[in-house]
Amino acid sequence: MTGRTLAAVAAVGILVVVATSLGTDLPARDVAVLAAIAGAGALAAGLVGALVLRLLHQSTASAQVTTVVLTSVGAVAVGAIAAGNAMFLSAHDLAALAVIVATSAVVGVLCGMAVAHRVGAASRTLGEDVRRIVDGGEAAPITGPGRIVAIRELVDLHEQVRESTVRLEKARSSERAMDAARRELVSWVSHDLRTPLAGIRALAEALEDDVAPDPETVRRYHRTLREEAERLAGLVDDLFELSLIQSAALKLDFEPADLGDLVSDALAAAMPLAEAKRVHLDGQATATGLPLVEVSTPAINRVLHNLLENAVRETPPEGAVTVQVGVSEGQAFVQVRDTCGGIADEDLNRVFETGFRGATARTPRGEGGSGLGLAISRGLVVAHDGEITVENRTGGCAFTVRLPLMHSESHSD
């Protein structure tokens, strides 16, 4: 309690004494004397109570609340008896006053102890909750004597503890999931690193031992060495970009862009791969004009290239990959649909996980891919406040990227 609050309470108390004295025929001098005597007695009792409370500063909440109640009742009792004695009451009247004060004091102490018991129960519940949280458990609701309006602060504090328990459990679950994903990623990366490294070592040893029978074989070995080195460099680059995304250290430069143009560029880049695999690649817009989106052009190009290359590689020869771009529900979208046969239901929710490998991995390896494309794509889309989803469709699956619009006006080509 602040000094200003104490001063305000003292001022109100003086006003109450003055107002009470106005309703009596006591002279002002007698009122002042009685108030001084009663106040002095109450102050003495209060000082004793404060000293006891100081000695009990490490005791339980119940003991301290009980001390406060006893101090308050004792201050009133001592003040009343001291003032009554100063009024020169008869022995009979003074005894009657003492009985009245004692009875009132007993009732007041009992009520105070009941409140102290409730406060103590709530405090113990809070302590037990904290211990449960430390042990990985969950806070229980306040029940029984601890649940009263008189200790609103403790009840509110308990609710905050319970909410903290939920947040801590979510954090623990997220941490466990991240640890599992990290271990899986390390295992997967180490496996994918060993394969090209083994090939590079074997080719280097063959060249060193002059095993190659002719210059053409030597050139083929050198070409293979370069390709394997590029695979390793691509994997390292993807891991670095993924680490930036996961640590929220990725810096993107946003600019207005026509989503239709970005899709056209991505289709053109994926066309040679589609022709090599004899996959029909087609793109269409759902509207004649598309609004601008504010994006990082290199990042969105990376997302579109990943999705198109994955779709083409997963689609069997003579299959088709269709790209749609348009506006739906106030967002721009790009949907890449293929005829890969679909993804296993148990893998749909894990397709974008870092290092996840289902029965057949969506992100290719052995064909220039690092295996992290979808995880990186999701991170880049989320960095644009967008969303990327996947669902099975008849004969294949569809990946959909949704991005916020820059403004509501349409932009014509």
Q: What is the pLDDT of residues 318-352, one digit of tens each?
A: 999 999 998 888 889 999 999 988 888 888 888 88
Task: Give the CA count within 13 Å in the CB-facing half-sphere of 94.
Answer: 12
**Fold that domain 177-246 belongs to in CATH:** Helix Hairpins (1.10.287)
Classify residue 290 by its DSSP letter. Answer: B
- pTM for the model stands at 0.54
| Cβ neighbours of residue 323 closer than 8 Å, sequence gap 6 or more | 263, 266, 267, 281, 282, 283, 284, 308, 334, 335, 336, 337
Q: Is the C-alpha dihedral spanning 349, 342, 261, 413 positive or negative?
A: negative
Nearest of 35, 42, 30, 34 to residue 14 by alpha carbon: 35
State which amino acid sits at residue 321. Answer: V
CA distance 123 to 148: 12
CA distance 70 to 152: 22
Q: Which residues of the chain form CATH 1.10.287.130?
A: 177-246
Nearest of 277, 288, 353 to residue 314 by alpha carbon: 277
Kindly give the confidence (pLDDT) of every residue in the chain, 413 residues in length, as a single tens digit, with 9 standing for 90 and above: 556 766 776 676 666 666 665 656 666 766 677 677 767 766 777 777 677 767 776 667 667 777 777 777 777 777 777 777 776 556 656 566 666 666 666 666 666 666 666 666 666 666 776 676 666 555 555 555 444 434 565 666 667 767 777 777 788 787 887 777 677 767 777 777 777 788 888 888 888 887 777 888 888 888 888 888 888 887 888 788 877 777 777 788 899 988 888 999 999 999 999 999 999 998 877 666 677 889 999 999 999 999 999 899 889 999 999 999 988 888 899 999 999 888 888 888 888 877 665 544 444 444 444 567 888 889 999 989 999 999 998 888 999 999 998 754 444 33
Q: Which residues of the chain form CATH 3.30.565.10?
A: 255-404
Buried b (16+ CB within 10 A) or exposed e, 372-398: bbbbbbbbbbebbebebebeeeeebbb
Average pLDDT, the chain: 75
Coil vs helix vs strand at 349 = coil
**What's the pLDDT score for residue 146?**
43
Q: In whole angstroms, how far apart are CA 220 and each of 3, 15, 203, 207, 210?
A: 89, 104, 10, 11, 14
Q: What is the pLDDT of residues 189-213, one digit of tens each?
A: 777 777 778 888 888 888 888 777 7
Q: What is the pLDDT of residues 170-188, one digit of tens each?
A: 887 878 877 776 777 677 7
Buried b (16+ CB within 10 A) or exposed e, 89-122: eeeeeeeebeeebeeebeebbeebbebbbbbbbb
CATH class of 255-404: alpha beta
Tokens 């064909």 appear where? 367
